[in-house]
Structure 1
């Protein structure tokens, strides 16, 4: 299966760099709406057979133009929502709270899945809910599936499940609004990331320095 993980369009709390992960969450900014409107053309070369979005409003609004262009139903699944910020909800992302949030997310991807986000979920819980939606899509038999999700969730899941994405790579490569990670594989055989925001993914171990892991959340 070809899997396209798409980050939602820009929101007001993205502009303000807030850890905004609650449901239903905000809508899109004017720029976010333009980003969503550009998705059908950006993904014109993809033969998308199924389209999913999280339970947050921003992903469903982002998916809507693509759904209309392809004649697809948007399948809303809670498993694709953003990693809950728990006790750090609505705190500034460019702060110690934001650093702790991303350290926790990448610790999960590195195997410490028992670690709990303060006041939130564990890595085991996050990966189980995300895996369940991916497994559902794979079981449908669709050749190419697009899932509109969230920055930290996409980066964490890709780093945990794609054999050629390591934590340093995922931490160093932010995902802009409506950025896309393209993977290929199956839940049984595993996943390989093909491109990350349009760039070819380097092999695991060659991701370079971690950079500013705050970017690309929520």
Structure 2
């Protein structure tokens, strides 16, 4: 099975470095819509047979051009939404962003009990994201689909991949960004395990990636 995890296109909240994690969230900016349209030539020839997005509007808007090109519906899964900011929602100051990213780092290093006030902890995040991936894979298998797209969010994709993919380490995820409409390409299955073949277009080695991995380094406010 081939799983393409696609980050949504740019929003105004991204530009303003706001912790915009709640449903429905911001619409795509003009640039974000252009980025979504560019997924058609980038991914349209890969044999994709299913497209699923989160419940935030920016992921559905990002998925729409590709799905329309492929003649596919966009399924919606709540489990693919962004890691919650809780009481930090829509804040963009440096301290708030640092606290949010510290939670992500703690989860990546195995402490799933950490959470911001008003937000889920790591146990809840992985439970809902794992379930959403499993449901999408089950539907794909039932339809004899080998390649599927999940349109999700920067922190969510990076955190899930850093904990569920055998050759992507926590240090790699913390040091490596995922720009708007960046793609993390995985092969495998939940039963056999996942291997990352490409991160934002750069090949990832079969052995565990080092901290200085592919793609641009993460910037505060760039991951939501």
Distance of aligned partners of 1:215 and 1:158 in 2 relative to their CA distance in 1, 3 Å threshold? farther
**Matches of 2:172 and 2:219 in 1, distance apart?**
10
Contact (CA 8 Å) 2:8, 2:152: kept in 1 or not?
Answer: yes
**Contact 2:17–2:220 (CA under 8 A) maintained in structure 1:** no
Confirm or deny: 8 A CA contact 1:2 1:184 kept in the other structure.
yes
Secondary structure, aligned partner of 2:188 = strand
Equivalent pair of 1:99/1:213 in contact (CA under 8 Å): no
Find the aligned partners of 1:69 and 1:29 in 2 and give their Cα distance. 21
Q: Does 1:186 align with 2:185?
A: no
Identify unmatched segments of 5+ residues in structure 1: none
Paired positions, count: 216
CA RMSD after TM alignment: 1.5
Q: Which residue of 1 aligns with 2:223?
A: 217
Change (3 A) 1:215 1:19: closer
1:35 aligns with 2:35: yes
Point out where structure 2 has 5 or more consecutive residues left out of the alignment.
none
- C-alpha deviation, 1:205, in angstroms: 5.7
Change (3 A) 1:88 1:215: closer
Task: Please give the TM-score of this superposition, normalised by the length of structure 1.
Answer: 0.94
Whether 1:148 aligns to 2:147 is no
Residue 206 of structure 1: aligned partner? 210
The SS at the match of 2:195 is strand
Moved more, 71-80 or 37-46: 37-46
Contact 2:44 2:66 in 1 (8 A): no
Structure 1 ranges of 4+ moved more than 2 A: 202-205, 211-216
- Asked whether the equivalents of residues 9 and 180 of structure 2 are also in contact (C-alpha less than 8 Å), the reply is yes
Which residues of 2 match residues 1-218 of structure 1 at below 5 A?
1-92=1-92, 95-140=94-139, 141=141, 142-202=145-205, 203-204=207-208, 206-208=210-212, 212=218, 214=220, 216-218=222-224
1:163, distance to aligned residue in structure 2 (A) = 0.9
TM-score, scaled to structure 2: 0.92
